[in-house]
Amino acid sequence: MSILSIIKVGGKVVEETASLQKLLNDFVKLPGFKVLVHGGGRSATKISEKLGIETKMVNGRRITDEETLKVVTMVYAGLVNKNIVASLQARNCNAIGLSGADLDLIRAVKRPVKDIDYGFVGDVVSVQTNEVSKLIADGVVPVIAPITHDGSGLLLNTNADTMASSMAKALASSFSVNLVYCFEKPGVMMDQNDEKSVIKELSFDEFKKLQDNGTIVEGMIPKLDNGFAALDSGVKNVIITNTNGLAGGNFSGTILVK
């Protein structure tokens, strides 16, 4: 099977011109087929502020009321996505920007209200890879914005990490998939203050041990839960790194192992 690298990058990297251009230089050099999944939260917060819409976050997640949904749709699927696409085209990389609504790629269900009402936030329910697989096999590079739809016309704000792992799992039957989470640290670290303490290989059991003893905390937990689930569903490699880890396509950082 052909190699497909699905690279998820956080908002900050793609929202600043210099870091975006460096990222894309490394990204286009990756061997094999490629998908980029991006965020855009900082721009969404800035635009919301200018529009007089208050940004409410709970546990690092954006509470998405009707006006905020409009902002994230504009910013993620419009401003951030199309600028990345145009920048890739300038590098002779035939990119296509997609939300989960396009090609019915990713359907989600509006998150049920329990303790917290997250508003128009979607939890992924299905991935339709029929058309996107053909595009990828043709050398087209999908650039995915973290917006999904519910199949009834409603757009939903959706976690980009989850979208990346959902895509990876769904494409694992057609491609040999590398799922790479790029965030601000060079990998999963034993000591948050020591970048040399990156764990090279992490098993699920070791992850749970480090979660129990408080070494692995906060946003890294759902990222790793998503990552191990992808590994269990046939994704070849799952790597946690920062954008420096992309250079040369060696994917340095933490690799998840079974």
Positions in 188-207 near a copy of itself (CB under 8 A): none
Nearer to a copy of itself by Cβ, of 118 and 120: the residue is 120
- Subset of 69-98 contacting a copy of itself (CB under 8 A): 70, 73-79, 81-83, 85-87, 89-90, 94-98
Per rule CB under 8 A, count of chain residues that contact a copy of itself:
42
User: What is the footprint of a copy of itself within residues 224-253 (CB under 8 A)?
Assistant: none
Query: Could you give the CA distance from residue 161 to residue 55 in angstroms, rounded to a whole number?
Result: 21
Beta carbon nearer to a copy of itself, 104 or 225: 104
Minimal distance, residue 127 CB to a copy of itself, in Å: 14
Is 154 among the residues that bind a copy of itself (CB under 8 A)?
yes
Work out the end-to-end distance of the chain between its first and last CA atoms, rounded to an integer number of angstroms: 21
Provide the minimum distance between the beta carbon of 23 and a copy of itself in the complex, in angstroms, as a whole number. 14
Which residue ranges make up the site for a copy of itself (CB under 8 A)?
47, 50-52, 70, 73-79, 81-83, 85-87, 89-90, 94-99, 101-104, 131, 134-135, 138, 140, 147, 149, 151-155
